């Protein structure tokens, strides 16, 4: 856990951006496959058409109230509640999140720009899937990005082959800087 990060949870229940109360939008499985195996999805659907990790927390257990362990896959509930989930992953420090690329928001500055290791801005609009795994007619309401926490996850993201723009956020020191001889 990174003690510098405060995990704030809003009292309001989750809601989906622009989609009238629906939050069961599933990640296309090929995205998760491209990122390797995850130990835990802390916000998985009650009925999932496929596993997203080795273990899953659902609404029944309340994933935010449970322990998080290992490598996390996180496509969190949408809306104002998203920040609390991203804060938790930033504090945990090991995993990859999929969120809307709202780069100007306080959430993005608090938990992505200033804490993540890397971001992959996905090319085009992702089409999230229906709860039964079928494809809806429209695509997501905004561009999406994948956010890596931990150097290993940044490496996996860079090598994923997913189309988009990859940006390293944690600059490694060059040998010159390391020796103090810039
Ligand atoms: C955007 S969907 C993503 C589902 C899945 N993680 C994926 O990547 O396909 C968000 C999921 O969070 C679940 N969820 C909402 N609140 C939760 C909570 N407090 N604890 C665990 N899961 C929750 C919803 O049921 C929904 O399945």
pLDDT digits (tens, 9 = 90+) for 38-85: 999 999 999 999 999 999 999 999 999 999 999 999 999 988 899 999
Residues in the chain, overall count: 182
Q: Which residues pair with 122 in a beta bridge?
A: 164
**What token pair was written down for 102?**
């709202």
- pLDDT > 70: what percent of the chain? 81
pLDDT digits (tens, 9 = 90+) for 141-170: 799 999 999 999 999 999 999 999 999 998
Q: How far is the CA of 59 from the centre of ligand 1 (A)?
A: 7
**What token pair was written down for 122?**
């996905």
CB 41 within 8 A of CB 95: no
Q: Is the CB of 77 under 6 A from ligand 1?
A: yes
- In 57-174, where do the E strands start and end? 72-74, 95-100, 118-122, 144-149, 164-168
Q: Is the CB of 64 under 6 A from ligand 1?
A: yes
Q: How far is the CA of 46 from the centre of ligand 1 (A)?
A: 8
Sign of the four-CA dihedral 139, 75, 59, 13: negative
CA of 74, closest atom in ligand 1: 6
Q: Is the CB of 62 under 6 A from ligand 1?
A: yes
CA distance 167 to 181: 27
Strand (E) or helix (H) holding 107: helix 106-108
Q: How far is the CA of 151 from the centre of ligand 1 (A)?
A: 25
- Of the pLDDT bands very low, low, confident and very high (cuts 50, 70, 90), residue 4 is low
Ranges of each domain in the chain? 29-178
Nearest CA to ligand 1 atom 10: 77
């Amino acid at each position: 856990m990174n003690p510098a990060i405060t995990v704030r949870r809003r009292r309001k229940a989750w809601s989906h951006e622009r989609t009238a109360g629906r939050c069961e939008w599933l990640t296309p499985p090929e995205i998760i496959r491209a990122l390797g195996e995850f130990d835990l999805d802390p916000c998985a659907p009650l009925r999932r058409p496929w596993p997203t990790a080795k273990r899953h927390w659902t609404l029944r257990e309340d994933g935010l109230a449970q322990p998080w362990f290992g490598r996390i896959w996180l496509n969190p509930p949408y809306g104002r509640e998203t920040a609390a989930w991203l804060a938790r992953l930033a504090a945990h420090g090991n995993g990859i999140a999929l969120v809307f690329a709202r780069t100007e928001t306080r959430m993005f500055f608090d938990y992505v720009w200033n804490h993540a290791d890397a971001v992959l801005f996905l090319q085009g609009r992702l089409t999230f899937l229906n709860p039964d795994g079928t494809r809806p007619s429209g695509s997501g309401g905004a561009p999406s990005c994948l956010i890596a926490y931990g150097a290993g996850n940044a490496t996996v993201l860079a090598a994923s082959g997913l189309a988009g723009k990859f940006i390293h956020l944690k600059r490694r020191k060059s040998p010159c800087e390391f020796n103090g001889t810039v």
